[in-house]
Amino acid sequence: MTRIKMCGLHSRADIEAVNEVLPEYAGFVFVPNSHRGVTLDEARALSALLDEVICPVGVFLDAPVAFVAAACDVGAIRMVQLHGREDEAYVAALRKRVSAPIIQAFVVRDAADVQRALACSADYVLLDAGRGDGRAFDWSLVANVQRPFFLAGGLDSGNVAQAVRAVRPFAVDVSSGIETNKTKDIRKMRAFAMAVRAEGEL
């Protein structure tokens, strides 16, 4: 069964939507210049409204370790997604501060990027074309990856079944593909989840 992460929640309506669709993971983006960005207080309040079966994930872009730790400490998130240029020293420093599992994101342009991702010490890797901008990368680059990974970048209800068949990811991660005019769209969220789950039943 391929797990689902729906990312970039920033309103009560978004929380009501994921509580209906029940993805395994929900993402809060702690990136100030993103249209999906949330503050620590906003994330804490929204996270408290999440169905308990959904794991809240914090998405960070080269944030100070102390800030990531604070998000975990206040209970806003239970998993950390590093989506910037964080290195192994950063991951080691973060592990000293938090027990939450760490997902490290890598931009995939070629086979060398995939090898670099596979060598990292994070609990999970996330393979993406960019940073929440709705672009896909060449999935054939990860067709033979053995390590469980989150597949991200340009997924939507129209292409996610093909992606799952092609690369069998641990989880699929979506943000732009479940939005209309930069706002989460419950119909697109339902269609995305249905496409992933139908693939798991084949």
Ligand X SMILES: O=C(O)c1ccccc1N[C@@H]1O[C@H](COP(=O)(O)O)[C@@H](O)[C@H]1O
The residues facing 7 across adjacent strands are: 27
Instruction: Pick from 174, 189, 195, 196 the residue near ligand X by CB under 6 A.
Output: 174
* 83: contact with ligand X by CB under 6 A: yes
- Pick the closest to residue 104 from 50, 164, 92 (CA basis): 92
DSSP string, 153-198: SS--TTTHHHHHHHH--SEEEESGGGEETTEE-HHHHHHHHHHHHH
Per-position x/- string for 26-65, each x denoting binding to ligand X as judged by CB under 6 A, each - no binding: -x-x-x--x-x----------------------x-x----
Smallest distance from ligand X to CB 157, Å: 12
Smallest distance from ligand X to CB 60, Å: 8
* 176: contact with ligand X by CB under 6 A: yes
Of residues 1-30, those binding ligand X (CB under 6 A): 7-8, 27, 29
- Pick the closest to residue 87 from 106, 114, 109, 59 (CA basis): 106
For residue 42, count CB atoms less than 10 angstroms from its CB and return exposed for 0-12, middle for 13-18, buried for 19 or more: middle
Number of helices (H), then strands (E), in the chain: 7, 10
Catalytic residues: 7, 128
Counting residues that bind ligand X (by CB under 6 A) gives 25
Smallest distance from ligand X to CB 15, Å: 16
Nearer to ligand X by C-beta: 96 or 107?
A: 107
Q: Are 91 and 100 in contact (CB under 8 A)?
A: no
What residues line the site for ligand X (CB under 6 A)?
7-8, 27, 29, 31, 34, 36, 59, 61, 83, 126, 128, 131-134, 152-155, 173-177
